[in-house]
């Protein structure tokens, strides 16, 4: 088994644990519904489970945050940098920075030209 596969397996297990915690908390608060488990390869696949119907949007947010924290931990960034969308760009070489600036200038010129053609 490669380290990437192990990493994905660990990630899936951690996310499953966190989602389970979220759903159990919601069920304990009385917001219980029914949902069919559709995760292929799980023993519960195709069975109906009691879960919190209105907790699903919250669970999705929870999963997103957990994924961000997992990826940040392995990239050396802090989770806050990832969650805030302010992760630092990797250092660019002078040539790459120049090419990026040239491309931005080209795109701005094209946008200006198109606005002029549209009469805006």
The pLDDT tens digits along the chain (120 residues) read: 455 566 777 777 777 777 777 666 665 554 444 445 555 666 665 554 544 445 556 656 666 666 666 666 666 665 555 555 544 455 567 787 788 888 888 888 888 888 887 775
Rama region for 14: left / alpha / beta (φ>0; ψ in -120 to 50; rest): alpha
Mind giving me the DSSP string for the chain? --HHHHHHHHHHHHHHHHHHHHHHHHHHTT--EEEE---TTSTTTT-EEEE-GGGHHHHHHHHHHHHHHHHHHHHT--HHHHHTT-PPPPPPPHHHHHHHHHHHHHHHHHHHHHHHHHT-
CA distances in angstroms from 7 to 50, 60, 105, listed in the order given: 29, 21, 41
Q: pLDDT value at position 96? A: 76
Cβ of 71: how many Cβ atoms within 10 Å? 14
> CA 19 to CA 22: how far, in whole Å?
5
Are 63 and 57 spatial neighbours (Cβ–Cβ below 8 Å)?
no
Q: pTM of the predicted model, to two decimals?
A: 0.26
């Amino acid at each position: 088994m490669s380290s990437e596969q192990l990493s994905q397996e660990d990630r899936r297990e951690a996310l499953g644990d966190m989602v389970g915690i979220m759903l159990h908390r919601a069920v304990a608060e009385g917001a219980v519904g029914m949902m069919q488990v559709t995760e292929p390869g799980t023993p519960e696949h195709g069975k109906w489970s009691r879960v919190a119907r209105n907790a699903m949007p919250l669970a999705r947010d929870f999963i997103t945050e957990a994924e961000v924290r997992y990826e940040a931990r392995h990239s050396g960034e802090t989770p806050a940098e990832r969650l805030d969308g302010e992760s630092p760009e990797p250092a660019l070489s002078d040539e790459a920075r120049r090419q990026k600036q040239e491309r931005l200038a080209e795109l701005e010129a094209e946008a200006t030209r198109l606005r002029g053609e549209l009469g805006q």
